[in-house]
Amino acid sequence: MEETKKLSKINQLTGTIEIPGDKSISHRAVMFGSIANGKTEISNFLMGADCLSTVSCFKKMGVAIDIQEGHVTVEGNGFDGLKEPSDILDVGNSGTTTRLMVGILAGAPFHSCIIGDESIAKRPMSRVTNPLRMMGAKIDGREDGQYTPLSVRGGNLQAIHYHSPVASAQVKSAILLAGLNTKNEETTVTEPHKSRDHTERMLRAFGVDVKEDENSASIIGGQSLQATNIFVPGDISSAAFFLVAGAIVPNSEILLKNVGINPTRTGILDVLEQMGASIEITPKEGHTFEPVADIVIRTSSLKGTTISGDLIPKLIDEIPVIALLASQAEGDTIIRDASELKVKETNRIDTVVGELKKIGATIQATDDGMIISGKTKLTGNAKVSSHGDHRIGMMLAIASCITEEPIELESVDAIDVSYPTFFEHLDSLAK
């Protein structure tokens, strides 16, 4: 059942929240634990719908995975421990599950079938199926492997040096994971801009040698993974909603604890600084392969900026909420080189522009981004929708904190995909 929620203005946001675990890192911890030898313990695992889809798929391949509210134990038996699933692997709404798992399945000597929801069925899969076919995997799917449902029969892969036309960590990861199943050959992925490097960092934590060089990553086939313990830092993409909320709601001050600040993800922090936000970042000691910080954000007077090029992959998932932020900044904010937005859970150029216009923002779509002019009073008194996209839902919920009149947010349940405790956190900060 799709839920609708009425949301009203909030006068002030103050207090402390612990940001839930990072979605990208939670997925990888379960996947890598599933193909490692031994017991992997994962703490602060994100209990969002997407990561639970990953758990369910690997369970169907015979991996013993136990979940106790945020603590996950994965009993891996090495890559060869994966079994042919007797059922379809349902990825739900999760692009990361689909693309990384196809990379693993490409090297598995059995048949599997992948299906997801309506949104997944529209997302381009040829960006992974093409290079994996070049490596020798037998993959088929709707429209010649462009879309789900996909069927995979893996095994016998050859290494490649792949020049990806897009900066995508999902593509890079799928190829590197397939590269693990070649025979002592080197697989390399080169991207136009560096994408998030959680796979490279975590594979190293599992004992695999991965080389990184500016926009390339390489792996030698035949290496096995040894189980390890993983602490998942708070997701900076989830923190982004409260960073923006703290900056735009009057008289606010929010402390966000344990936020992952991997430099391939911190574009939102760069943009907040560029726009003049009052933000303090305190790095924390003792975190091994992913850096972590506590962050304080306060109500700020903001100015427009330009966001493009190398910065885009570092904040691609934050663009919906950055558009809202920009509506509260003086002057124009120009976002370009971001056509990847069109192939996310929704076409995020259309959904961001369409929904923010309904509540009075001055925003215009461009071919590869958008232009937002501020500062605008957001009106409210409108029915808006997440369109089934968690990040659009949360962006609109944060917008409602400053609209003159209440808004009605349709398909609010989409938020469970990455931040099931979002409204609890918002309510705990509202004064």
Residues that bind ligand S3P (CB under 6 A): 24, 96, 168-170, 173, 195-196, 316-317, 340
CA dist 95 → 26, 62, 90, 357 (Å): 14, 22, 11, 28
391 is in an annotated binding site: yes
CB distance 399 to 378 below 8 Å: yes
> For ligand S3P, which is the closer residue by CB, 344 or 425?
344
Catalytic residue among 317, 389, 413, 416: 317
> For ligand S3P, which is the closer residue by CB, 200 or 249?
200
Task: Say whether 410 sits in a helix, a strand or coil.
Answer: strand
Tell me which DSSP letter residue 360 carries. T
Residue 342 Cβ, how far from ligand S3P at the closest point, in Å? 11
Residue 316 Cβ, how far from ligand S3P at the closest point, in Å? 5
Whole-angstrom Cα distance, residue 318 to residue 211? 28
28 is in an annotated binding site: yes
* Length in residues, the chain: 431
Residue 225 Cβ, how far from ligand S3P at the closest point, in Å? 18
168 is in an annotated binding site: yes
24 is in an annotated binding site: yes
12 is in an annotated binding site: no
201 is in an annotated binding site: no
209 is catalytic: no
Please calculate the CA angle 127-162-120 and round it to the nearest 5 degrees: 15
Residue 21 Cβ, how far from ligand S3P at the closest point, in Å? 13
- Buried b vs exposed e over 142-171: b needs ≥16 C-beta within 10 Å? eeebebbbbbbbbeebebbebebebbbbbb
> For ligand S3P, which is the closer residue by CB, 96 or 258?
96
How many other C-beta atoms are found inside a 10 Å radius of the C-beta of residue 13? Answer: 25
252: left (phi over 0), alpha (psi -120 to 50) or beta: beta
> For ligand S3P, which is the closer residue by CB, 168 or 299?
168
**Helices 267-274 and 319-327, interaxial angle, to 10°?**
10
What pairs with residue 6 in β-bridges? 408
Strand pairing class (362-366; 369-374): antiparallel
Residue 273 Cβ, how far from ligand S3P at the closest point, in Å? 22
Q: Binding site for 3-phosphoshikimate: what residues are annotated?
A: 23-24, 28, 168, 170, 317, 344
Q: Binding site: what residues are annotated?
A: 23-24, 28, 95, 123, 168, 170, 317, 344, 348, 391
Q: Binding site for phosphoenolpyruvate: what residues are annotated?
A: 23, 95, 123, 170, 348, 391
